[in-house]
Structure 1
C-alpha cells in the first residue's frame, strides 16, 4: 500500500526551509508521496515549492492537490509543470481543479458554465503536457503552443471532482480524480460509479 502525506496544514506556519524539512521527514518516515495545495488568493506557489522540495528529497512523489484552473492559463500551467517535472526527475503528479467560487470571486473570476471550462481546460492542457503541442479553440479557452524542448516524461494529471459531470470529465480526460473531505462510503457509492 502506498500512503502519502498532505502538507496543506503547513501553509500557515512553515517557510520554505520548513517545507523542505517536513518533506525530508515524510520521506524518511516512509511516506510515498507529498502533496501541496495552492491557495488561489495568496501564499506559496505550490509548483515552485515542490521544485525546491524535489531537489532536496530523493524518492518521494510530489503532487499538487490542487492548482486552481481559473487564474492560470493551461499553456502557462503546462510550461511550469513540464519544467518542474524535469527539475525533480519525473516525480510530479499535477492535480488541478476549479477551486471554490467564493475564492474566484475574490479574484474577479466567474464562469457560469464550469464543466465547459473544465473540459476546455483539459483539451488545452493535456496535449501540451503529453506531446508538447496544442492547437485548440473553445468557447472559453484558446491555446496554440509548442513546447520548446521535447516532453520526455509527462506528469500525471488528476482533477479535483465531486459532482457527476466533473467526475465524468476527469475520468475521460485525465488520470482520474483526487479527493478531499470524503470517506470510504462516498468513494464506493458515488465516486467510483
Structure 2
C-alpha cells in the first residue's frame, strides 16, 4: 500500500459517545492510527484515548495534543503511564503549547511558552522511563518526583508545534513532531531542517495532519473543505490555495497522501470532512492498495 502509516482523526465536533464504534470501524478497515483531539471546551484527550484503546485490539492511538499549561507534568505522566502499561506499544502522546488565548481564559497562560513546553516534554519523558525528576525550571518545578508504575514500554512523546523555534525545540526535546493541517510536501524539507537544528536524529518521527474530503464532484469537495481551509490559511499566514489537502477523487487523495510520504512524513492523519467519513477513509485506503 504505502510505507507511510495512515491515521484518521476523531474530530472534536463529533459526539464522544460515537468514538468506540468509530474506532472499531476504522480498525476493521486496516488503518494504522486513530488520533483524538484535546481542545478547550471539547473533549479530554487522555480520556478519549482510553476509550479508543479499550474499544480496539491493535490500533495505535495518538493524543493530539495535550496543552502543556493545562496539566502538571507529573499528572500527565501518571495518566500516560497508566495507559501505556495497560496498552503497551499502542499510545503516542502529543504535547503542545495550547492556544494562548484559550490558556489565558482559564488562567494558565505561561510566561514563557517555549520553556514550559520543553520542560514539560523533558520531564514527562523522564518520568515515563521511571527516572526520579528534580527540576527547578523557568515554568516547571518537580522536587524528586518518581512514578511508582512507570511505563514498561514508554510511549513516544511528540511535540505538536508550528513555528521554527518550536520545531527546533521539538528536535531537541521530543521523540517526534506533529504538524498541523495545511502543511504539504513543499513545506516538509524546511520543517525537517528546523527540527534538525534542535539535534533530532533520523529516528525523530514526523506526523502530519491533513484535511480530507473524498468525492467525484470537485466543486462539492471544495465547498465542503472551504471553511476549514480558509480558517487555517489565516492561522498559517498563507493564501487558501497554499493550504495542502488530501482531497478529490479517491485516486487523487491517495496520490496526495503518497506525496506527503515521499517528502518525509512518517504518518499522515486524515481529518475527514463531509458525510460518511468511514466510507471516505475506505475509498482512500482502497485507492492506495491499487
Name the TM-score, length of structure 1 as normaliser. Answer: 0.91
In structure 1, C-alpha distance between the alignment counterparts of 2:45 and 2:75, rounded to whole Å: 14
- Asked if 1 retains the 8 angstrom alpha-carbon contact of 2:74 and 2:124, the reply is yes
Please name the residue that 1:6 is paired with.
9
Q: Deviations over 1:78-98 (max 9, x none)?
A: 000001112223311000101
Is residue 77 of structure 2 the alignment partner of residue 74 of structure 1?
Answer: no
Structure-2 change in CA distance of 1:77 and 1:19 (3 Å): same
Please name the residue that 2:44 is paired with.
45
In structure 2, C-alpha distance between the alignment counterparts of 1:85 and 1:150, rounded to whole Å: 9
What stretches of structure 1 of length at least 5 have no aligned partner? Answer: none
Name the TM-score, length of structure 2 as normaliser. Answer: 0.62
**Where do 1:173-188 residues align within 5 Å?**
173-181=173-181, 182-188=183-189
Please name the residue that 1:83 is paired with.
82
Is residue 114 of structure 2 the alignment partner of residue 115 of structure 1?
Answer: yes
What stretches of structure 2 of length at least 5 have no aligned partner? Answer: 194-290
In structure 2, C-alpha distance between the alignment counterparts of 1:131 and 1:186, rounded to whole Å: 37
In structure 2, C-alpha distance between the alignment counterparts of 1:65 and 1:14, rounded to whole Å: 17
Please name the residue that 2:101 is paired with.
102
In structure 2, C-alpha distance between the alignment counterparts of 1:111 and 1:43, rounded to whole Å: 21
Structure-2 change in CA distance of 1:75 and 1:33 (3 Å): same
- Asked if 2 retains the 8 angstrom alpha-carbon contact of 1:48 and 1:84, the reply is no
- Asked if 2 retains the 8 angstrom alpha-carbon contact of 1:51 and 1:88, the reply is no
Please name the residue that 1:25 is paired with.
25
Q: Return the index of the structure with the highest Cα Rg.
A: 2
- Asked if 2 retains the 8 angstrom alpha-carbon contact of 1:123 and 1:136, the reply is no
Q: CA deviation at 1:30?
A: 1.2
Farther off after superposition, 139-148 or 92-101:
139-148
What is the count of residue pairs matched by the alignment? 188
In structure 2, C-alpha distance between the alignment counterparts of 1:150 and 1:3, rounded to whole Å: 29
Q: CA deviation at 1:12?
A: 2.2
In structure 2, C-alpha distance between the alignment counterparts of 1:37 and 1:113, rounded to whole Å: 24
Is residue 145 of structure 2 the alignment partner of residue 145 of structure 1?
Answer: yes
Superposed CA RMSD in Å reads 1.5
In structure 1, C-alpha distance between the alignment counterparts of 2:99 and 2:185, rounded to whole Å: 23
